Amino acid sequence: MSASRVVLVDQVGDLESVAAPLSAQEGVSCEVHHQLPQGEQIVAVLVPPEVPVGAAELRGLPDLRVVAATSTGYDHLDLNAIASAGAWATHCPGYCDDEVADHTIAFALDLLRGVTLLDRSVHGGRWDVQEVPPRRIAGSVLGIAGLGRIGREVARRALALEMRVLGADPFVTAVPGVDLMALSELLPTVDVLTVHAPLTPETHHMIGAAQLAAMRSDAYLINCARAALIDRDALGAALRAGRLAGCALDVLDHEPPTGDEPELDWPRTLINPHAAWYSPQSACEPYRRAGEAVRAVLAGEEPQDALARPA
């Protein structure tokens, strides 16, 4: 009898961490693929944010029992289609909260102190602190759009640095030390705005031309969440026109960039290769948890962090 196949569609993923919880399962094989495969005996697929799973993909997976996102975000999963196909869907909330919060604060400090932009200036043959005048961190105003787990961790770190923290989140009523207000009220006040909302139809392009126009011309923008939370064209136009002091992006609309992505030519822009989630500690955790979700489903149990259950 053919083995049940567990497929990790992630070339940088940790297959050993996936396989470890499944070691006691007989008749189960674990494998890695570049693309989502089709065929029988595939009982589980483990997918990062770049690999969508919807009705079209599910038609070729008749034996599928679970789709496990190896990420916190799950906007790449069609939960209704997965449930209708008789499968579970899971994700891995919280596995890299500290890393993303640390990265966000690192970006904020870098932008406010001008570290990278001044470094580029020196390497370009200039020696002028006024080219990007560093600012005092204590007393600077950080605005956080989205106060879930990561947004709250960012706030906690910023408060420790004696920054003033403003927050906007329609689903949150109180966060210690954070002044809550509507996003429209927050935007004109901040020195730095960072977005940490989940990507949904309601939050798509939540920062667009109108929101950017409401910000001060000496303010900075950070995105370590999802690229589509920000209108790329509007952000580029604001930077080129000098209506924004700069930005730091860990996520792009197209990853990796092909070389002609507009972000690569924007002024005063820091770009990292979707690195905010990473540390040696967090590198294996989402794969272990996805493997544990698969183990639970194959054992007839309800998996942890379920997003959808078989219809």
147 Cβ contact partners less than 8 Å away, ≥ 6 residues apart: 155, 167, 168, 169, 172, 175, 178, 180, 196
Q: Which of 5, 91, 196, 226 is catalytic?
A: 226
Report d(CA 268, CA 205) in Å as an integer: 21
225 Cβ contact partners less than 8 Å away, ≥ 6 residues apart: 73, 146, 150, 195, 196, 197, 198, 199, 251
Q: Which of 162, 255, 301, 302 is catalytic?
A: 255
Backbone Cα Rg of the chain? 21
Q: Which of 164, 232, 274, 295 is catalytic?
A: 274
274 is catalytic: yes
34 is catalytic: no
Amino acid (one-letter) located at 234: A
> If you ran DSSP here, which 8-state letter would residue 207 be given?
B
149 is catalytic: no
The label of the residue with tokens 């080129």 reads 240
Report d(CA 214, CA 191) in Å as an integer: 12
Name the 3-class secondary structure at 47: strand
Amino acid (one-letter) located at 226: R
Catalytic residues: 226, 255, 274
